[in-house]
Amino acid sequence: MPLESVDISQTASAASIIFEALKKAIIEGEIKEAAPLRQDEIAKMFNTSRIPVREAILRLEEHGLVKSQRYKGAVVSTLSSKEASEIFDFRAVLEPHVIRAAVQKMTPATLAKARAYCEAFYTEADPMKWGDLNRQFHATLYNASGLAYHLEAIDGALNRIDRYLRAQLVLSDGMARANDEHMQIQAACERRDADRAAELTERHILGARDSLLTHLSSIGG
């Protein structure tokens, strides 16, 4: 399993550390879909007992990143084309609403930070960093809304789809298209045009959905 060994035997929040490490590895594709999560192996890596490992895996299951299978134990969840489409459709309803609520609350500092992420995404040569920059750009804009429950729901949806989005950005023309669409969304926010920002965000999400479904179809997803 591609995780770096960490000694957390004296750490009170062992389960949280294991949860965050596994979540990151799953989202970034270091642990592949359908891969088993063997509790003994993970406990040894983190120099801890199986109890915090079990707790971490249960939390991953609550987030939809892991599922328990009879005779196999916990494995990384897979995502069908139907499930992916449903998540994108959910995002296409929620995220335009959030950015519309956020636009008038965006400070100059918020807009500057978002633009920095937008430009970093455009200039970044390392594909492994595209996924994080993409999320940071959108999150910076959305956070201004102050809609905590909506933001939590968006984060959960992105966690389920993130590893597929990263692959789509790298393996299709998704990067070039995302660059252009990010710039348009940023410009609409800077003009304080909430309706246009919402429209562009919906189009951005649905376009990514169609691109990803095409990618999943091409690999038999």
CB-based contact 69:175 (threshold 8 Å): no
The predicted pLDDT at position 81 comes to: 86
Count CB atoms within 10 A of the CB of residue 16: 15
The predicted pLDDT at position 26 comes to: 87
CA distances to 52, 107, 143, 182, 185 from 123, in Å:
40, 24, 24, 13, 17
Amino acid identity of residue 146, one-letter, is: G
The predicted pLDDT at position 4 comes to: 61
CB-based contact 33:78 (threshold 8 Å): yes
Q: Which residues of the chain have pLDDT under 50?
A: 10
The predicted pLDDT at position 155 comes to: 93
Amino acid identity of residue 49, one-letter, is: S
The predicted pLDDT at position 112 comes to: 98
Domains of the chain: 14-76 (1.10.10.10), 81-218 (1.20.120.530)
The predicted pLDDT at position 107 comes to: 98
Amino acid identity of residue 206, one-letter, is: L
Q: 1-44: per-residue pLDDT in tens? A: 666 665 555 455 889 999 989 988 888 788 988 899 999 999 99
The predicted pLDDT at position 152 comes to: 95
The predicted pLDDT at position 34 comes to: 87
CB-based contact 54:13 (threshold 8 Å): no
